[in-house]
Amino acid sequence: MFIQRLFLSNYDIIVLTETWLNSSILNCELFDGGYVVYRRDRETAGFSSSREGGGVLIAVNNRIGSRRLQEWESDCEDLWVLVNGSVPLALCAAYLPPPANLSIVKCFVDNFNRISDFYNSQIYFVNLNGLKQCNNITNYMGRTLDLVLTRMLSCNVREAIDVLCPIDPLHPPLIVDLSSIDCPKLQYNDTSRLNFYKANYDLINSFLAEVDWESLFDGCKDVNGLLVKFLEVINKAVHNFVPSSKPKTNKYPQWFTNYKSYLQNIEDGISKNPKLFWSYVKAKRGGTGAIPAVMIHGDRRVHSGSDICNAFATSFSSVASCSCPPLSNFDNEDADECWTGKLAFSSDCLSTLSISRRQIYRKLLTLNVSKGAGHDRIPPLFISRCASNLVEPLFVIFNCSLTSGIFPSIWKVAQVVPIFKSGDAELFSNYRSIFILPTLGKVFESLVCPVLQSYFSKYINENQHGYVKGRSVNTNLVLYVEEITKHIDSNKQVDALYTDFSKAFDRVPHQLILKKLSAYGVVGSILSWLESYLSGRIFYVVVNGFTSTPRDINSGVPQGSHLGPILFNIFVNELPHFIKHSVPSLYADDLKLWKVIDTEEDVSLLQSDLNALVRWCGRNGMELNIKKCNHIKFTRKLFPISSVFFINGVSLEEVDVVKDLGVFLDGKMTFVPHI
């Protein structure tokens, strides 16, 4: 039957496991001359005393070049074949016979990591080497025994209909569709770049020390004028004393000259320089930073670097320009639902603040010099090396900004870098935006932030654990798990609703957050400064040296900023007061509601709190992503109380395991899924 089916098939590559072949059976008995046959029979493996069973086989069509990589094989039943194409494809067929004890698995994994040039690995080799398991076809027992591991993005596994031999119910035959066409990547725009690591900082500091900042700033009418004068001096120093160079493309990898020393440096520097370690891991995974040369935007294909940047900008700007709900909505609510009634008014107020020279100097010295520059092209390395000569002008600029209530416009321009998430790399929707703000603007924020945190510390709701001093992911989870466990240990049922805000930080309406800040006592020049800080922001996308046209940001708190998290906490601070029947738990925008369910009435009360959350979202310009909201029952009862929850008429999915701030929780709190 096998031979008959083989003649009728047109498979490029055939992979068989558990062949039960041995040296007494010839390849010509199985295949005609149309295939090159590679075998690894049980008798060649080093772990099995039995000479029967097992065995793997790979047959490659004659029109495709291939060769066996015997030097890659281990003592297990693994067979490696290199298939030629526009992109060489390394195929491994492996069978680990049961019981697959630790020594067998370790032998295979260690050999795989050796092939991938990784030394002394203690990380799961699938994640380390960027592999994904593509087979979702189950056997008659509902289990997936055969794994298809690959790095290739375009891999589709389906059950074979045109089979070559009788079907083993434990191992359904599979067809694996692979595209060997390598997606071309967008080339870099190789313009010269400033090399601040080779700058002459002695000459730069001498130059800056001679500047009479008082005379230079004389006559400037506002903080923007001061900053323009300041940047003119800085740019002159950079032009005179910072060399430029084109980025180098190494022909050989970093480890080429001394691989063992390279690995040792990575291991020794994990605690001090984890960035180097993760760069190595990223390279092992095949890298995720390359942008395709051709991408899909709507119904058209985008080719050039500048067009790709502008398409990214269009995609990102759709969530950065949300409309604000009418503020009149908040003044006409009933007392029970009025948002202002939930704010803790106080006679205290915050109207002014100032920054000292000492604060500025200490902050400049603690900058992370490995970070890059923002829109103003001044990297932290330059600022840190010239800290003593930058304190005076920054002291004038910072305090003028706070006094006048104007945040400098230049520091409100953000560079955006797209980062690939998952899925098809040619789709713009599969990328997230990383905002890079000017360094000096972030220094300014970091000096204002502690003052705001101190002022709002007495107002922040106790249910909020995100970006609050003394609270964290750990405090959120420990308190939550302790309470849930206590109830289910008492044979109770706890229902928990996990919600997901859609683009929460990007959707915050500016006028509404300012009204809430005013209700908390932020007034005068500080309120004006925060209004200026939020408004008038723009961004542009940077990809491989190409840039997009600038786009406006009309909503949200600035990404990558110091003040963004504390402002968001203030924005959602009154939300827990609307939850009357259940317990809310917040970590920034991650909100879960839970309640002990003793009767069906308790289910209704939990639903009423969910309805209150939906109403709050409608009044505050927020939106729940219903597809990512779910419901879980925590209980050990054999017959728990039935419950279904709805958002705008759509029922929430009930799950058995939920991922809560990185920890997998199951309905019985066994932690088995997490382990």
User: So what's the pLDDT on residue 99?
Assistant: 75
| Residue 2 pLDDT > 50 | yes
| Residue 193 pLDDT > 60 | yes
| Residue 127 pLDDT > 50 | yes
| Residue 171 pLDDT > 50 | yes
| Residue 120 pLDDT > 60 | no
**Range with top average pLDDT, 293-297, 416-420, 422-426:** 416-420
| Residue 322 pLDDT > 70 | no
DSSP 389-432: HHHHHHHHHHHHHHHHT---SGGGEEEEEEEE-SS-TTBGGGEE
| Residue 185 pLDDT > 90 | no
pLDDT band at 230 (very low <50, low <70, confident <90, very high): very high
pLDDT band at 334 (very low <50, low <70, confident <90, very high): very low
Lowest mean pLDDT among 155-169, 215-229, 476-490: 155-169
The 10s digit of each residue's pLDDT in 364-386 is 999 999 888 999 899 999 999 99
Lowest mean pLDDT among 50-59, 312-321, 389-398, 434-443: 312-321
The per-residue pLDDT of the chain, averaged, comes to 85
> Which whole number is the average pLDDT over 516-528?
94
The 10s digit of each residue's pLDDT in 525-566 is 999 999 999 999 999 999 888 999 999 999 999 998 999 999
| Residue 47 pLDDT > 90 | no
Single pTM value for the model: 0.72
Give the pair of three-digit tokens for residue 369: 């010099």
* Cα–Cα dist 642/620, whole Å: 32
The 10s digit of each residue's pLDDT in 647-670 is 999 999 999 999 999 999 999 999
pLDDT band at 252 (very low <50, low <70, confident <90, very high): low
User: So what's the pLDDT on residue 477?
Assistant: 95
Cis peptide bond N-terminal to 243, omega within 30: no
Give the pair of three-digit tokens for residue 81: 């074949």
Q: Which residue has the tokens 């899909």?
A: 296
Give the pair of three-digit tokens for residue 536: 């008038």
* Beta partners for residue 653, in sequence order: 630
